[in-house]
Amino acid sequence: MKKIWIAGAVITAAMMTGCGGSSNNDEKTAIDLPDGKTLIFFDNASSKQYLYNTDTDSPEDMNVAGENYDMTGKNGKLITWNQVIATGVDQKIVMVDESFDITDGNLTYEDLHYLGHFHEENNVAVFAAHSGDEFDPAVASTKKLGAIKAFNMHMKEQNEIKEEITEALPSGETLCNYFVLGHEEHENHEEEGEDHNETEHKEEEAAPHIALTTSGKVYIFEEHEEGLEQSQSAFTLDGVTACKENEISIIQNDDHGVLIFAAQSQKLYLADSHGEDFHIHSTWDADRFLPTGFTPTMFTGIGEGEDDHHHDY
């Protein structure tokens, strides 16, 4: 298992909260991306891949010969998987084959390029990646086989959510990508068998379902007894006129919002809500913090903080 060492400050980094951490592109001296994030950007055209640490503001080329995460000459699809385990949520980044689709059948080790997550070694956060071959049933441990099974269950559940959002979209709109804010926390409560009072139940029902359509619009839905209902007016992303599958990515930023990356605009957006409608709070041009000439088609990321859990296969 190969590793990328991340600055020790990541271990205690706090997720950005509130609306005080805005950034604008006129300030060239400070990027001011959300703290505590490890982001991975990948270009399916060139196979170039960079890891970006928002605490050190530094990109690192991941395509190093011999590393498990080397994607040289390969195509893939990045997936963030917040696996619910006994002690909490274990954040993972999964690079699968570009053609993988859970509706065509379960993921096998042959569909998996790498699975990465954090380990803590000597109070330093280490991003380590397992190769797909490590999950071959002929050699894999029980834990690794269990991880593949859990990932497939997660992807099937995600597909069910995708179908639900697709049905809720206005006539004429087609789903491109989506994210359910706070979905993992709801899963965690369910697995732990916690009792929910009426307020908690209503909060879970109201979990924002953020949907991007092929027309480039962003819709926000909330779940009610009758199903998903649009909770506010749709809005657009600056520079985005259309959305193509695998060319726009969404991850959670914090409890209040998400980060969206669009290949068309080469911009990273922070969309959040603090008791108001969701809106674009901050926008960053990717060329401000990524190497010159690198134009990724997708990204994903995870955050490392005091409450995150480490799980070693």
17: pLDDT strictly greater than 90: no
What is residue 134's DSSP assignment?
G
- Pairwise CA distance, residues 135 & 230, whole Å: 41
pLDDT band with cut points at 50, 70 and 90 for residue 183:
low
Buried b / exposed e along 15-29 (16+ C-beta atoms within 10 A): bbeebeeebeeeeee
Residues 6+ apart with CB under 8 A from 144: 130, 134, 135, 313
Residue (of 60, 89, 211) closest to 154 by Cα position: 89
Q: Is 83 helix (H, G, I), strand (E, B) or coil?
A: strand
pTM for the model stands at 0.84
Mean pLDDT value across the chain: 84
Q: What is the pLDDT of residue 117?
A: 86
pLDDT tens, residue by residue, 22-62? 444 444 346 889 998 999 999 999 999 999 999 888 899 99
Please provide the DSSP assignment of 195-234 as one string: ---HHHHHHHHT--EEEEETTSEEEEEEEETTEEEE-S--
Q: Give dist(CA 107, CA 154) in Å, integer.
A: 11
